[in-house]
A and B are shown apart, each in its own frame.
Chain A
C-alpha cells in the first residue's frame, strides 16, 4: 500500500472494530451495490480466509450486509444491518469457503441480484479500510474504488477503446487511469476507467449505446 496523502492514514471515518474486517468489508459490498445500481433482493456472501474465520466478532457479516444496502463504512446503522436487510426485503446467505490461495486472506465473493440485474464480484480488504476489487463477473480487475470508475464489458475488437474514450473526452472528463482484461474464449473484454469527476447517467448511457458495448457499470464514490 502506498500512502500519497496524510488522509490515507488519518482520514478514514468508520464503524469499528477493524478497519480491514469491518470498514473494508463494508466498502467492498458498497461498491458491489453501486455497480448493481439498486438494492439487491438476494445476496450470497462467500467469505474467504480470515474473513471466514473471524467474521462474527468483527461484525464483517453486518458490515457486508450494510454495504449491500448502500450504507457507507461510517454509517451508525451498520450495527443493525440485519434488521435493515429485512426491512428492505433483502434475503442473504453467509457461506464460509475457500476461494483459493491467490486471494488475500481478507477476501469476499459477493453474488447479488435484483430481477434481471445481477453481479458477481470478488474484493479484498488490504488494511486501513483500503480495498482492491479483484474480479467482476469472472473478469480479472484491480482497482481501489477510491475514484469514480466506469466498468465496461465490450466485444474484443479494434477501435472500440478510442470510441469510448472520445465519449469521455466529449464530456470533458479527465481519465486518471485505464486498464483492460480479456476473456479470449468469449472474445470479450472488461475495461475499467478511473476518472476525476462524478460520472453522469448521460455519459454512461452514451457509452452503453456504442456498437459492441455489452454492459456499462458505474461506480461513483
Chain B
C-alpha cells in the first residue's frame, strides 16, 4: 500500500499510466499476488452486495431496539423542500441502508458497518446522474478503497480510536474521491475532495445513544453523503482546501488522539449523555 497520498501521487506520475484505477489495480496485484481478474471479480461482488443491501433496505421493514428510530427513513419519500430530488433520494438511500445495518441486515463495511450507508448511496446516485457505466463504478470503488487504506494506515478507521470523523468522515472522503474520479476529475482534484471532506467533518465525535449503532449514527450517514457531494462539487470546480491532504490526515489523527474517552464509542458523552439518551439507555437495558 502507498505510504501517503504524496507517495501515491509520485508513483502514479512515474508509472505513466493514464487511468488512476488501472494504476491502483497494478499496485494491488503487486502487494497481494492476486490477478486482475480476481481483483475485479471481488470488486464486482462488493458492488453487487451494496446494490442488494440497498434493495433490501428499501423493501424490508427494519426492527430496531430504539423504538423512536424505526421507520424514520420512510419519511424521506416525500417531495423535497430544499434539496433537489436526486439529493433527497441519496439521503433516503443512505438512511435506509444505515437502518438496515442497525437491524442486522447484510451490508459491506465501508470502512465500517456503522458508516456503511454512505458509499453506496453516493456511488449509485452519482452513477445514475452522470450516466456512467457499471465498469466505471467498479473502478471508482477501487479508488475509494485505496483512499480508505491510506487514511487507515496514517490515522485510524475506528470510532473507538478516532471518533466518528474516522468512520463517517472517512466514508465521506472515500465516496467523494470515488465520484470525483467518476466525473473525470484529476488526481489533484480527488485529493482536494478528500481534504475538504475530512476538514468539514474534523472533530466529529462518536457518541452512540445507549452504545448502539442507531442514534445518531444513522443520521450521521446523511451528513457523510451530503458532504461527499459538496466536497466533490467544490473540488471539481477548482476550489482548493489549501492544506495538502497528507497534512489534513495527520491533523485528523491528532484530533482523534486528543478526543476524550467519553467521545469515542463508549456511549458516555455527547448526544449519548443527554437526559433523553440516558432515559433510552435505562429503558433498553432494564427490559
- Chain B residues near A17 (CB, 8 Å)? 101-104, 113-114, 212-214
B229 in the interface (beta carbon within 8 A): no
CB pair B145 A6 closer than 8 Å: yes
A1 to B142 alpha-carbon distance, docked (Å): 20
Is the beta-carbon distance between A57 and B101 smaller than 8 angstroms? no
Segment 78-129 of A: residues with Cβ below 8 Å from B: 78-79, 105-106, 126-129
Chain B residues closer than 8 Å to A6, beta-carbon distance: 24, 28, 142, 145-146, 148-149
- Contact (Cβ within 8 A) B111 A9: yes
Interface residues of B in 48-100 (CB under 8 A from A): 49, 65, 100
When distances are taken between beta carbons in the complex, the residues of chain B under 8 Å from A10 are 46, 108-111, 119, 141, 144-145, 148, 174
Q: Tell me the bound Cα distance from A10 to B118 in angstroms.
A: 12
Most buried by B among A21, A58, A62, A128: A128
Residues of B within 8 A of A23 (CB): 109, 113
Q: Which residues of A contact B110 (CB under 8 A)?
A: 9-10
Given contacts A12-B109, A16-B116, A17-B114, contact A4 B32 (CB under 8 A): yes
Q: In the complex, are the beta carbons of B145 and A9 less than 8 A apart?
A: yes
Contact of B104 with A78 in the complex, beta carbons under 8 Å: yes
A17, B31: Cα distance in complex, Å: 31
A8-B104 contact given A19-B112, A19-B114, CB 8 Å threshold:
no
Residue of A nearest to B25 (CB): A6
Cα A136 to Cα B156 with chains together (Å): 28
Cα distance A132–B265 in the bound complex, in angstroms:
20
Q: A12: nearest residue on chain B (CB-CB)?
A: B109
Nearest B-chain residue to A57, judged by Cβ: B212
Q: Which of A11, A19, A56 interacts with B42 by CB under 8 Å?
A: A11
Per-position contact with B for A160-178: 1 when CB-CB < 8 Å, else 0? Answer: 0000000000000000000
> In angstroms, how far is the closest chain A Cβ from the Cβ of B174?
7
Q: Does B241 contact A (CB under 8 A)?
A: no
Q: Which residues of A contact B106 (CB under 8 A)?
A: 13-16, 74, 76
Total contacting residues, chain A, CB less than 8 A: 41
Q: Which residue of A lies closest to B56 (CB)?
A: A76
Q: B113 to A18, Cβ gap below 8 A?
A: yes
Q: How large is the interface on B (under 10, 10 to 19, 20 to 34, 35 or more residues)?
A: 35 or more
A184 at the binding interface (Cβ < 8 Å):
no
Cβ–Cβ < 8 Å partners of B284 in chain A: 56-57
A205 sits at the interface (CB 8 A):
no
Complex Cα distance A150/B6, Å? 40
B170 to chain A, nearest CB (A): 9
Looking at the assembled complex, report how far the CB atom of A148 sits from the nearest CB atom of chain B, in whole angstroms. 15
Q: Is the CB of A20 within 8 A of B65?
A: no
**Given known A4-B32, A57-B211, A57-B284, contact A16–B141 (CB-CB < 8 A):** no
Is A16 a contact partner of B149 (Cβ separation < 8 A)? no
User: A9 near B148 (CB under 8 angstroms)?
Assistant: yes
Confirm or deny: B185 has a beta carbon within 8 angstroms of a beta carbon on chain A: no
**Contact across chains for B212 and A11 when beta carbons are under 8 A apart:** no
Asked if A9 and B157 sit within 8 Å, CB to CB, the answer is yes
Q: Which 4 A-B pairs rank lowest in CB-CB distance, beginning with the nearest?
A: A6-B145, A16-B101, A9-B148, A54-B211
Give residues in B with beta carbon < 8 Å to A: 1, 24, 28, 31-32, 42, 45-46, 49, 65, 100-114, 116, 119, 141-142, 144-146, 148-149, 152-153, 156-158, 160-161, 174, 210-214, 265-267, 284-285
| 18 interchain pairs, CB-CB under 8 A | A1-B158, A5-B28, A6-B24, A9-B110, A9-B145, A10-B144, A10-B145, A11-B42, A14-B109, A15-B106, A15-B107, A17-B113, A19-B114, A20-B158, A23-B109, A53-B211, A105-B160, A126-B158
